[in-house]
Copies of this chain bind each other. A is one copy, B any other.
Amino acid sequence: MIQGFAALALLLISFIVVPLASLLLGTSSQEIVKYGLDSEALYALYIGISASIIATVLLIISGVPLAYLLTRRDFKGRDLIKALVDLPFVIPHGVAGIALLVAFNSRTPLGFILSNLGMKLEDSFWGIVSVMAFVSVPLMVDALIDGFSGVDTDLEHVARGLGASESETFWRITLPLASRSLVTGSLLSWARGMSEVGALLIVAYYPKSINVLIMERFWTYGLQVAKATAIPLLVISLTTFVLIRRFSGRR
């Protein structure tokens, strides 16, 4: 049995490794410099990276409270909210873009207010941020739920008994002990933002982020140019991946 198992397992591993290796090894450094690091590509990288960072920061600010409440408070509808958080996992990417556009485009009341505040959704930097935040919600919140669940509530009970209020306990005990999960969640959420393209093609083609640029170059110039353009992004993703595994203690 084990030999057969090993053969099938090897097949699956190759299916992941071969494409990535072909892409990384099959591109010359001249091509990478020419198409992957030209000013348009660098600007698109900058847009992608900065939008994803901002999306992640927004998710930290709103996700930490949500995850804390979900792990420390027992309230009606808690299970429903836990489910809602995971919804973006299964929403097809294009559909997610359409949903954001339907809800927040500048002709909707909410979108109107936001666009007057300089946060227009369509073809804008804030549109990119919204898309990235939307798809990353479950990653951030689930990592934080794991983190807060991993903090023994007895530690908090002891702290309370020693005179610390709930908020003192949160800042001195709970959050510091969940900090690894916060880092993991942030990296995951940042990486997920950087990987999205389907929803971006709908909500914010412009300003051109790196993912959109890769698609555009594939359609305009073909595989050769697109693959060179993709290399720097792939390297960034792989680096993030290594960091994620380090901080989450492997996995």
Contact = CB atoms under 8 A, between A and B. Distances in A.
Interface string A67-108: 011000100000101111111111111111011111111001
Interface of A: 1-2, 4-6, 8-9, 11-13, 15-23, 26, 59, 61-63, 65-66, 68-69, 73, 79, 81-96, 98-105, 108, 110, 133-134, 137, 141, 166-167, 170, 191-192, 194-198, 201-202, 210-211, 214-215, 218, 223, 226-227, 230, 233-234, 237-238, 240-241, 244-245, 250-251
Contact of A167 (B1, B61, B62, B101): B1
Dominant secondary structure of chain A at its interface with chain B: helix
- Number of identical monomers bound together in the oligomeric complex: 2
Contacts of A63: 12
B90 A197 contact: no
B84 A22 contact: no
B91 A137 contact: no
7 contacts: A9-B65, A13-B85, A18-B103, A26-B102, A86-B245, A92-B211, A92-B237
Contact of A16 (B69, B85, B194): B85
A223 B101 contact: yes
Contacts of A73: 2
Given A103-B22, A201-B215, A227-B102, A196 B93 contact: yes
Contacts of A202: 215, 218, 226
A220 to B, nearest CB: 13
Most chain B Cβ neighbours within 10 Å, of A79, A134, A202, A210: A202
A227 B23 contact: no
A223 B102 contact: yes
Contact of A92 (B8, B82, B233, B250): B233
Given A230-B95, A244-B90, A9 B214 contact: no
Contact of A20 (B1, B91, B108, B197): B91
A8 to B, nearest CB: 4
B98 A23 contact: yes
Given A6-B69, A13-B85, 7 more contacts: A1-B167, A4-B65, A8-B66, A18-B103, A82-B250, A92-B234, A196-B198
Given A68-B5, A93-B195, A227-B98, A79 B250 contact: yes
A66 B16 CA distance: 13
